[in-house]
Chains A and B, each alone.
Chain A
Amino acid sequence: MRYLRLLVPMLVWVIMASSCEKDPELIIEPDPSSITFNIYPKVGNQPMVLNQEYLDEDSYRIMPTLFRFYVSHLTLLTDSGELEIKDVALLSLEGLASGEPLTIEAAIPAGNYTGVRFWIGLDSAQNASDPATYAQDHPLSAFQGTFWTWNSGYRFVMLEGYYDTLANTPGPVATTSFFNYHTGLNTLYREAVLGAASVPFSVGEGDSYTYNLDLDLNRALYGSRDISRNMGAITHSTSNYQLAEDFTENFIRAFSLSNP
């Protein structure tokens, strides 16, 4: 009988152990190597912050008041293929101090990489998301203020502010001249054109690598397509689509390797 008193608890333990979820499999510690993408917003050579006046490339006063954009499918290139390290990130200048970068961080395996690629905006599946299904702090959440409620989909880039309509005028900037570039729609989803900004790099075991890029507002306004003041100041993409497309084409080319 004494054996029985020992046997029964053991039996219970065996049953319990076998009935619950599987034992966790052996956990392999993630590679601690990491990468930080720093994107420095600038107007020409000046660090850009919101609510501050700048003279743009054509000597017009400009004052950005809102600047947000999505980066998606951030991918590292290798000799043997590609490794996506971030599906989506929302970058915003709100609260950013002068000279401070927008950042995207990700854990990566140690190794040699031949470059990077990413897209501006959201792919069609991401763009068809329901923002109410995401946690508040998720980049695609309804709480981010990027969702178009009247035409379901996300704004890929939101750039708003004021600019003068005449060059070389004394400040302050005329707050009656409002510009508002909101790009979205699946047809305006573009890969960033990095060119020389996509450079090879190596990351050792446990190392933290920093990849620095500049984002120049001048290039977004005066890139391959000059959109400054000539095509109207407002686009919500379906309204003044040409302006949205031209701004997008400029924006994806506004990144360069940073030389801090």
Chain B
Amino acid sequence: MGKTKVFIGICLITALLATGCGKDELEPLDAPYELNLPVGFPPMPVPVGNELTVKRVELGKMLFFDKGMSRDSTVSCGSCHLQTNAFSDVIAISSGIEGRKGMRNSPPLFNLGYHPYYFFDGGVPTLELQVLAPVQDVNEMDHDFPLAVERLAQNPRYQEMARIAYNREFDAFVLTRALGAFERTLVSGNSAYDQYNNGQSSALNESAKRGLALFQSERLSCSGCHGGFNFTDYSFKNNGLAEVYADSGRIRVTAVEADRDKFKVPSLRNVALTAPYMHDGSIASLAQVVEHYNSGGANNPQKDERIKPLNLTAQEKSDLLEFLNALSDYEFTTNAAFAE
């Protein structure tokens, strides 16, 4: 009788186990990544299939700093996107492999998950698709994309993490998703301005407060384009940088004449850390940027109507600069979680 009970028990256990068939795939050994958004920031959109997890972000960070992304293994994403500069570069035009120069200033990387499109001309709609561009750009990494994926896939650590994070071999999907995941975690929103905005009135000095008032005034109209929590409306504008532009801007991706010489409005968060300025890095300092807007800019037919002489006093310029400096988030630029 005892043997019979054991036999029946084994049979029932087998049957119960069998009812679980169809779920024999291993769940990824991963955990959700807690994205701690600053007060006042809206939820960040995250694409289905690339929800943030610890391993995805970790893998993306490793890839971000991997020079193996470039053809001759000399340049990584981090080569032109330096954390101390809010993940921008300190020179007008960054160097790709073999010192090659492209045509545009390296943009800072933060709060990217909120952007509706990427690059100065807005030609790329997602962070994941964005990955394809620098890898293959002849002036950046100049790599054949299949070869880049093949080489990175030789890394056993990447293979292991790809299986955990995405439940698949390392491939183009993993490469683009992981980098997108890491870049979404680059959130910046703890500047002196933010602290002031969240109730710490002493976080801004009197000059910065006057600068904030000027910034938000109808007279200057700065916040007309640089408004919202991220200090940009993501629109495309011509700010009268020159009478003739060497780079035709958004028309390159739309072929619409109205888009000629227009560029995506950048966020002003961390702006004091991201010199030089403009799409071509042609303005060296923030003080010169203020002078540019104060002058009303060059006579370009596409210039936004709000770009006109401001007649700022020396004190007003100083106040504006003080406010712009207060947009720097040093917690972000020193966060070890983002460091190589």
A contact set with B: CB distance below 8 Å:
1, 4-5, 8-9, 11-12, 15-16, 19-21, 128, 130-133, 136, 141-143, 145, 147, 149-152, 185, 237-239, 241
In the complex, whether B133 has a CB less than 8 A from a CB of chain A is yes
Report yes or no: A151 in contact with B11, Cβ–Cβ below 8 A: no
| Complex Cα gap A237–B254 (Å) | 9
Q: Give the top 4 A-B pairs by smallest Cβ distance, nearest first.
A: A19-B19, A151-B123, A149-B133, A16-B18
| Complex Cα gap A4–B11 (Å) | 12
Q: Which residues of B contact A19 (CB under 8 A)?
A: 15, 18-19, 21
Offer 15 A-B interface pairs, CB within 8 angstroms, sorted by A.
A1-B4, A12-B15, A19-B19, A20-B22, A21-B21, A132-B128, A132-B171, A143-B145, A149-B124, A150-B123, A150-B253, A152-B124, A185-B255, A238-B252, A239-B255
Q: Which residues of A contact B123 (CB under 8 A)?
A: 150-152
Which of B22, B131, B172: most chain A CB closer than 10 A? Answer: B172
| Complex Cα gap A50–B245 (Å) | 38
Count chain B residues whose beta carbon lies closer than 8 angstroms to a beta carbon of A: 38
Nearest Cβ distance between residue B189 and chain A, in whole angstroms?
28
Q: Which residues of A contact B145 (CB under 8 A)?
A: 142-143, 145
Q: Which residues of A contact B254 (CB under 8 A)?
A: 238
Report yes or no: B128 in contact with A130, Cβ–Cβ below 8 A: yes
- 9 additional A-B pairs beyond A11-B15, A239-B255, beta carbons within 8 Å, are A12-B14, A16-B15, A19-B18, A132-B132, A132-B177, A142-B145, A150-B137, A150-B252, A151-B124
Which of B119, B123, B128, B175: most chain A CB closer than 10 A? Answer: B123
B contact set with A: CB distance below 8 Å:
4, 7-8, 11-12, 14-15, 18-19, 21-22, 119, 121, 123-126, 128-129, 131-133, 135-137, 145-146, 171-173, 175-177, 251-255
Nearest Cβ distance between residue A127 and chain B, in whole angstroms?
12
**Chain B at the A interface: mostly helix, strand, loop or mixed?**
helix
Q: Which residues of A contact B15 (CB under 8 A)?
A: 11-12, 15-16, 19
| Complex Cα gap A5–B255 (Å) | 79
- Residue of A132, A152, A238 near B251 (CB, 8 A) is A238
Q: Which residues of A contact B11 (CB under 8 A)?
A: 8-9, 11-12
Q: Which residues of A contact B132 (CB under 8 A)?
A: 131-132, 142, 147, 149
Q: Which residues of A contact B21 (CB under 8 A)?
A: 16, 19-21
Nearest Cβ distance between residue B151 and chain A, in whole angstroms?
14
Do A15 and B124 contact each other (CB < 8 Å), given the known contacts A5-B7, A149-B132, A241-B255?
no
For A13, give the chain B residue with the smallest CB separation.
Answer: B15
Report yes or no: A4 in contact with B4, Cβ–Cβ below 8 A: yes
For A236, give the chain B residue with the smallest CB separation.
Answer: B252
Nearest Cβ distance between residue B109 and chain A, in whole angstroms?
18
Do A133 and B251 contact each other (CB < 8 Å), given the known contacts A4-B4, A19-B18?
no
| Complex Cα gap A149–B143 (Å) | 13
Report yes or no: B18 in contact with A152, Cβ–Cβ below 8 A: no
Nearest Cβ distance between residue A220 and chain B, in whole angstroms?
21
| Complex Cα gap A136–B128 (Å) | 17
For B248, give the chain A residue with the smallest CB separation.
Answer: A239
Q: Which residues of B contact A16 (CB under 8 A)?
A: 14-15, 18-19, 21
| Complex Cα gap A151–B251 (Å) | 11
| Complex Cα gap A185–B254 (Å) | 9
Report yes or no: A130 in contact with B129, Cβ–Cβ below 8 A: yes
